[in-house]
Structure 1
Amino acid sequence: MARKNGKDRGIVEKPAGSGQWWVRLYENGRERWTRCDSKSQASALYHRLKEQVRQGVLLPKPAAVPVVRLKEYVPRYLEQLPLRGVKALTVATYRARITKHLVPAFGGSPLHAITRPAVKEWAAALLQHGLDFNTVKGLALTLSGILTQAVEDQVLSHNPLLRLGTMLKRPSTIADEELPCFTPAEEDVILTAAKAKPGPAYPMILTLFRTGVRIGELLALHREDVNTVSRTLHVRRTWSKWRLSTPKSGKSRKVDLSPHLLDVLRAWMDVSQLDAAMGEHPCPPMLFPGGLGGTRQAPFYYSENAFRSTIWFPVLEQAQVSRLPVHAARHTYASRLLAAGVPIKYVQAQLGHASITVTVDTYGHWLPATGSHRPVDVLDREEMAAATGSKTGSDRRENV
């Protein structure tokens, strides 16, 4: 140990001349004091503690953390996802993101060497190369999930990518109005064009515009999901990439049906039942059975690509409107409800969002304007009404 003024710094009389002796050691950068009855006792204790320090008994050196690279940890991460209840389709999405973007960028880096500034610079480069902001954010969230799991597996001390919202900001060049959405007039001409097309085009497209269901949820609907008594649609499964799964939120939901949509769906089911009876084959359980991969006797679910290529885009072309994705019907549904003053909590329940925050963040700019009268104006109106009221009312206000 070092000495100061010719005296051992580890044995101290404190206060000076008091006869009280202390042993002082440094432990993990902090001082640790032990009181002794005499100087000889302090000296013996000090030398014993110094020997324990040298042997690594008193202050053992921290165990070396193994260096684990991202590409080495990824298989372990992916194997644990199904055990945590992550759906197979979501695992496939994560695997694609990791293979295409994360491994080329950070695969050779040790997990502890992946820093917040490095990820921020990488994300900025992806945005500059034209990648969509939501795609980049999804990639960063996937990387953050990997690091969080690594912390739980004790191969990483902390996750530097927590609170991504403070690190990734949506570019100001992306306006809210760019969210794909049809105007009411465009929706009318689309439905008119769909009605002129034979087959399930009109009931399928009307269901999209009147319920806001996702494309996979539409294709996975069964006849039994339509409740004509309660006027609801039970959304409890989705069909995507040739598999049935639960909806995106992992929970089923019941969506209200408008009277016109209910009439259209009831008529469609009657036609399907009659067609099956005439063909002498069982009526399929699917509300909108597709021919791809099946026959009239053994129908199959519609594929997303078949719906887009044979129904959606041909109808849009006939209606002479913008070639927007199918999901634009969901945005249109939400925007029209909110513009009509429907409570946002109701819209959240209809859309199946896990949190109302998602609904507000996505569709909040569509909340209706209040014109010249704003909600706060009611306070002045109440004050003016009170001022013209009785004196007793004024007295009550002063006492409140």
Structure 2
Amino acid sequence: MEKWKVTAAWEQWADRGKLENSTKKQYRSILRTTIEPFFMTRSIASLQVADVEQWLLWMEQDRKLSARTRRQRFSFFSGMMDWAVANEIVSRNPCKNVAGAGSRAREIRDQKSTATRLTTREVLAVLNGAPPRYRAMLWLMAGCGLRLGEAMAVSRDQIDFEEGRLRVDFQIAEDGDTGSGKNSAIRRRHIKARDEGEPGRTIPLPPNVAAELRRHIKNHGVWGPDRLLFPNVTRTGFLYASYFYPKVWMEALRKGQVRYCKAHALRHYYGSRLLYAGVPENDVADWLGHSSTEVLREHYHYIFEGAEQRGRAAIATMLVPGADDPTEASEIA
């Protein structure tokens, strides 16, 4: 077998297939910050289980990376080693026998224990505190569960006011190829993992969110050939996240007197309130754009805790003489 350096194998692995530019950019960053500084000129064939364990410890103690970040980078590294085995660069993947790489379940619990869970009062305060030009965009995140890039990309053609639906199939992403290799140009493209022409997801459009969108269109209009609702403040191009966070999000938090949290907390509010309201998991997963209800359960684990107790209590109050039966009401209707 040819003697490959770890860094060379990583570069080859990271450049395979039709990866998004944003993914390639992330892999280059990982190579620069945590692969090259530790493995340097090491041969990939020389790696042992102890070497990978030492790398994990180094990321924790020297680089001060969170458990989540370490687990993610270990997962990528193991994937690279699997690729090397498949291409006969090495005969085995030492990551398979590594202990202490991190538990996914524990990671989710730790993440959710520290995640900000906004109350309805706080969400409304943030919405009211947002600059008028971009207030409706935050309403889309809290009231329809859109990711920031998806909300930035909303056009008039995606909104069906008559049917009360919103189509989500585009996002603003700072991953366009600039030709310099930095891949940082901003562009509007189909949401990740979808091809041109493939439909995205369709979300119910609540009347209060629709009212905010109508008000926005009346006051601010639309921009460009795609008729975007939220271009940059000068109406000369797309909205950058580097403008949104200090000028829109932080301003909304300050005026609303809400403790710091990421804008993603609005999307989390949407998902949690749907689940609390008893909306079926598969519908919530579809509207949020999750691949499965399993992903949904990971992100909203705390809502499902105590389900057995709630189930027992529900039947105990229903299965008694004189209890209301919703199925009878629907049959009469």
TM range (shorter): 0.7 to 0.9
Instruction: Give the corresponding residue for 2:20.
Output: 87
66-75 or 154-163, which moves further after superposition? 154-163
Instruction: Give the corresponding residue for 1:189.
Output: 125
Match of 1:364 among 281, 284, 301: 301
Instruction: Give the corresponding residue for 1:337.
Output: 274
Residue 245 (structure 1) aligned with residue 204 (structure 2): no
Residue 288 (structure 1) aligned with residue 230 (structure 2): yes
The 2-side partners of 1:133 and 1:160 are apart by 20
Normalised to the residue count of structure 2, the TM-score between the two structures is: 0.79
1:74: how far off?
2.7
Instruction: Give the corresponding residue for 2:324.
Output: none
The 2-side partners of 1:267 and 1:327 are apart by 24
The 2-side partners of 1:331 and 1:381 are apart by 31
Residue 326 (structure 1) aligned with residue 263 (structure 2): yes
1:81-120: per-residue Cα shift (whole Å, max 9, x none)?
xx2x321111111111121112222242222333344323
The 1-side partners of 2:169 and 2:82 are apart by 31
Instruction: Give the corresponding residue for 2:241.
Output: 304
Contact 2:154 2:229 in 1 (8 A): yes
Unaligned runs of 5+ in 1: 1-64, 277-281, 386-400
1:120-154: per-residue Cα shift (whole Å, max 9, x none)?
34324433454222211221122122112212222
Contact 1:225 1:233 in 2 (8 A): yes
Name the larger-Rg structure: 1
Contact 2:139 2:209 in 1 (8 A): yes
Match of 1:126 among 59, 64, 74: 59
Residue 136 (structure 1) aligned with residue 57 (structure 2): no
The 1-side partners of 2:108 and 2:248 are apart by 36
Q: Percent identity over the alignment? A: 23
1:264 maps to a residue whose letter is E
The 2-side partners of 1:150 and 1:105 are apart by 19
The change in CA–CA distance for 1:243 and 1:160 in structure 2 (over 3 A counts) is farther
1:247 maps to a residue whose letter is I
1:286 maps to a residue whose letter is L
Instruction: Give the corresponding residue for 1:260.
Output: 208
Contact 1:233 1:254 in 2 (8 A): yes
Contact 2:109 2:301 in 1 (8 A): no
1:337-356 alignment runs, 5 A limit: 337-356=274-293
Matched residue of 2:191: which SS? coil
Contact 1:341 1:368 in 2 (8 A): no
Residue 222 (structure 1) aligned with residue 155 (structure 2): yes
Cα RMSD of the aligned pairs, angstroms, is: 3.1
Give the helix-richer structure, 1 or 2.
2
The 1-side partners of 2:187 and 2:99 are apart by 33
Instruction: Give the corresponding residue for 2:42.
Output: 109
1:339: how far off?
2.0
The change in CA–CA distance for 1:381 and 1:221 in structure 2 (over 3 A counts) is closer
The 2-side partners of 1:165 and 1:88 are apart by 32
1:357-396 alignment runs, 5 A limit: 357-367=294-304, 369=306, 374-375=311-312, 378=315
Residue 270 (structure 1) aligned with residue 218 (structure 2): yes
The change in CA–CA distance for 1:381 and 1:124 in structure 2 (over 3 A counts) is farther
Normalised to the residue count of structure 1, the TM-score between the two structures is: 0.67
The 1-side partners of 2:216 and 2:109 are apart by 44
Contact 2:78 2:95 in 1 (8 A): yes
The 2-side partners of 1:348 and 1:163 are apart by 34
1:309: how far off?
1.4
1:173-212 alignment runs, 5 A limit: 174=110, 176-194=112-130, 197-200=131-134, 202-212=135-145
1:265: how far off?
1.0
The 2-side partners of 1:283 and 1:267 are apart by 21
